[in-house]
Each structure stands twice: as structure tokens, then as C-alpha cells.
Amino acid sequence: MKSFFTLLLTTILSAFCISFVAEAAIVINDYTMPKDLPEKYKSSLFSVLVEGEVIDTYKVGLNAWNNEVACCEFSSVDSVGITVTTNFSFSSARILPRDADIQCIINGNHLTFTMPVPQNVTIIFDEDFHGNTLHIFAQQQKNNTIKKNDANIIYFGPGYYDYSSLPPLQIESGKILYLDAGAVLRGRVLISDATDVKICGHGIILDDFTTSDEYDSVALTLKNSNHVTIQDITILRNAASWSAFMWKCGNISVNNVKIINPKYACSDGFDIGNSHNVTFNHMFIRSCDDSIAIKGTGNYGYNVAENPAITQANYAISVCNTQVWCDTNNALGIGAETVAAYYDNIQFKNIDILYNYDDLTYPDQFKERSALNICALNATNISNITYEDIRLEKGKQLISVTMPNDFWFGSMKGNWNWNGSFSRITYRNIVSYSDGSNVIQLFGRDSRHTVSDILFDNIKVNGSIIDLDSPLFKTNKYTKRVRFCRNGIITQEKMDHSELMFIMQHLSFRKDIKGGINGFIARGLMELAMKI
């Protein structure tokens, strides 16, 4: 009997210990800062506890308004409690994205909240989108099955590696660059003329410097490469230069990559140039210039005289399930450089635009900038573009489609000597909560360069459905066939200028044109045709 009770007690204690260990393992803090990481990369404004465990917090840099942008990362398998302590005072705080529906409790300079599932969230204080900001990346528990001694694997374990004085670390065909959690590589990474390459792990590429060597001053560059996968890494960039860029590439998958570059300006997030079959999924990008820009930079770099028709096209590109924050220029854009044979089959879907601002120095002066943007400097055909299920928390202009002569006070010239038009562009389930202008503008250039066949389906601004009669909606006479729908059912349609003129001319042949209903219709159509 004694042995039975001993066995029973042992079993109960074992079960208790197993339960305790399982509960304690909710938070996997394997993103610990390297011990020799320079102090300037450590945040002094934010302290983060997850289930009572200290999570190291990085200071990425200062934003355009000279306030700190910080981030931290951890893994979890379930709901976790988070406490954030600041060394500055605040009276309110909010957690984004809005759809996460996470509420916080404030006690002095502490705020606490529960994160129900691993996800990316951002904390803003006192509704100041220009103030100190904390980005928290909660990851699913990782499954580390990497073979560290494999000859095809370039492995960086936890630690700080300063390659800033060296050329970019070049990853050749068939190789894997694995940055383990806790690894911080200060340097640049290049994939050029390669196939079957992978960059993965939960480590960090840190690039807070600019260079003048023969290589691009970009943290991560892909050129002339095919079948490349990039996943799970974080890029912390603090320089007035692009963070990541691909050019003349195909079959590229970018998944669960986090990018922050708060430096003003030219600090794009991840740009795509003359590439095809590209997928971005579950991304987080904060930039102080375009967050994502699909560009055409020609065969040898941007050349305003180059005919886009002889360059590689941009097509089959998808950006989904992503959060972006853009302190300058456009959040989700095509252009401004558009030296590409054509743009086709491009989709932006299920995206939270946390913030979009036009410019620090010249606010409200660049009318071509917007959250959802197509701004082309070079004549080419852009078609089958879809923006769907997109939420704008705070910004200025909502949608803009333009064909300007130049960019940034004439510093970058365009070229409209060739034919090229924009058509079959769809905006579906777009919601803006912003207190900005929320302008929607579609401007063709001339009879050879038009904007046509545009569909708006459920566009809502601060609770109101937008239609043709909204003062927010603007077009010109080179914008044709615009339709507004609700849940796929057409409710309004804007005929183009030539169609109205045709109807008016047809009616003018009627003998009773000067009087009666036909005369009234013709005169009305004439007036309308002259306005558009």
C-alpha cells in the first residue's frame, strides 16, 4: 500500500511539473541581444515583459520628427500577457492594427495587454504618429531543423557580426544563408545571377551605414536571380537609402520578413523592379519613403531615354496579409520610375496601412502621393491591377493615379514619347479611418495616355460609401469608364468624353433638337461633355 501511495504521489508531482514546464514554455525568448552589441542599438525608452520575462528591445533609429522607433521580437505558442514600460510620460496609448482589437490598460508609464495569438502589433502614444513608437513582432514557435555543418549552408549563430567595412555577403546558387535567432549581421547581403537561393532564420540584418563602393548601398539586393526564398528574417536599416530591392528577377517568395527604416528619406522598404512571379506574404514594413514600390528601372538602371518596350516587364506580383507604415511618399505604389515593357496582374490584398504621410518638408505639396498609388513617369501599359481588402488607419490622400512630367521638383524626368495607358484597375473593399483628405483622383494625360475601365467596389471613408457624386472623387477628360459597385452590383457609371460626344452628336441629327426633351438631353450632355 505504501508503495502504491508513493507511486501515486510521484505521478501527481510529475504531471504537475510537466504542466508547469509546458506553461512556462509559452514564451520562447530566443531573440536575446548579443552581449557585444553596441549600446547605441539598445532602446532606452522601452522595456518589455512577456509573461514576466524580459524581452530585449532594439532602437532602430529616429524618425523624421526626431523620435525613437523601436522593436522587439519573441516566439509564443498561445495567448500571452505583455507589459510595456516607457521612460516618457503619456496619457493614452493604442495598439494597431485596429482589426487586432487589442485593448490596453494604462498605469502611469506602464501599459499592459493580452496578445491572444502571435502577430505583429504597433503601439502609438497619445495618438502621435510622429512620436516614439514600438513595434512588437510575436512569432510562431520556430522549428529549427537546419544542418549547421552542411557545405551549402552559410550559418550565423547568435552573436554580433560586423561586416560593414566589407563588400556585401554574396550568396551563390544553391546556397542557404541562415541567420539564427539572436544573430545580428551588420552588413549587406547580395544575391546576383543566382538560382535556388534561400535566406532564412530569425536573425537580423543590421545596416545603418551608406557606402560608396561599386555595390548598391542597400541592405538586401537581388539581381538577375531566379527561384529565391526569403523568410522570417528582420532587416533593421537606418540610412537614407533603400532597405531591400529586387531587379530583373523571377519566382521570388518573401514571407514573414520584417523591415524597418525610419530615416528620412529615400528609405524605401522593399522595392520590386522589372520582375515577375513575386509573392510577398505576412510582411511588416516601416519606411520613411515608399513602403513597397513596383518600379521599372530599365536594362541598366533608370534612363529616361530608354524605350520601356525593350525592357523586362513587371507581372504576376502579389502582396498579401501585410502591414505597412510609410512616413513619406506612398504606402503601396507603382512607380514612379516605370521603364518596364508593361505591368500586368498585380495584386495587393488584405493589407493594413498603419500610417501614410506625404512629406516632412513639403506637406500637402506633392499632389501625386497617396496611400494606394500609381504614379508613372514613363509611358507604358499598366493593366489588371487590384487593391482589395485594404484598411488605412491614418493618412492623407487615399488613391491617386497620375502621369506627371517629372518627380521631386524636376530632379527626375519622365518620358511620354511612347504610347501607354492604364486600364482594368480594381479597388475593392477599401476602408479609410483617416482624418486626412481621403482624396481619390484619376488623371489621364492625353488622348494617347488614358486611364480607363476603373472599378470601385465598396469604398468606405469614415463610415460613408464613396460614389461618383462624392467631393472626394476627382477625374479629368482623359479618364474613361469608371464604375462604382456595392458588393459587385454596379450602382453608378461614368461614361468617357467620347461616348458622351457621340450620343450628343447622334441626338443633334434629330429635327426637333432645338426643342423638347431631345434638345434638353443634348444640351445637358453637351455641358457634361465639356466638363469632363
Domain check: are 263 and 332 in the same one?
yes
Q: For residue 288, what is the domain's CATH number?
A: 2.160.20.10
Pick from 291, 191, 297: nearest CA to 242: 291
Q: Report whether pLDDT(191) > 60.
A: yes
pLDDT at residue 144, as a whole number: 65
Domain check: are 482 and 515 in the same one?
no
The answer to whether position 322 is within a domain reads: yes
Domain check: are 114 and 81 in the same one?
yes
Residue 411, judged by CB atoms within 10 A of its CB (0-12, 13-18, 19+), counts as exposed
Domain check: are 510 and 469 in the same one?
no
37-53, pLDDT tens digit by residue?
999 999 999 999 999 99
User: Could you report how far apart the first and last alpha carbons of the chain are, in Å?
Assistant: 96
Domain check: are 428 and 526 in the same one?
no
**Residue located via cell numbers 457634361:** 528
Write out the H or E segment, with its range, that includes residue 293.
strand 292-297
Domain check: are 480 and 512 in the same one?
no
In the numeric block, which cell numbers belong to residue 234?
Answer: 528582420
In the numeric block, which cell numbers belong to residue 383?
Answer: 493593366
Domain check: are 465 and 506 in the same one?
no
Confidence of residue 504 (pLDDT cuts 50, 70, 90): low
User: Amino acid letter at 304?
Assistant: V
Residue pair 380/350 in contact (Cβ under 8 Å)? The answer is: no
The answer to whether position 195 is within a domain reads: no
Q: For residue 59, what is the domain's CATH number?
A: 2.60.350.10
pLDDT at residue 488, as a whole number: 87
Residue pair 322/354 in contact (Cβ under 8 Å)? The answer is: no
129-174, pLDDT tens digit by residue?
999 999 999 998 877 678 888 999 999 999 999 999 999 999 999 9
Residue pair 244/218 in contact (Cβ under 8 Å)? The answer is: yes
Total count of domains within the chain: 3
Domain check: are 454 and 484 in the same one?
yes
Distance CA 409, CA 142 (A): 47
Model pTM above 0.85: yes
Domain check: are 274 and 296 in the same one?
yes
The answer to whether position 229 is within a domain reads: no
Domain check: are 399 and 508 in the same one?
no
Q: Which residues span the domain enclosing 247?
A: 240-493
- Residue 178 phi/psi, 5-degree rounding, is -115, 115
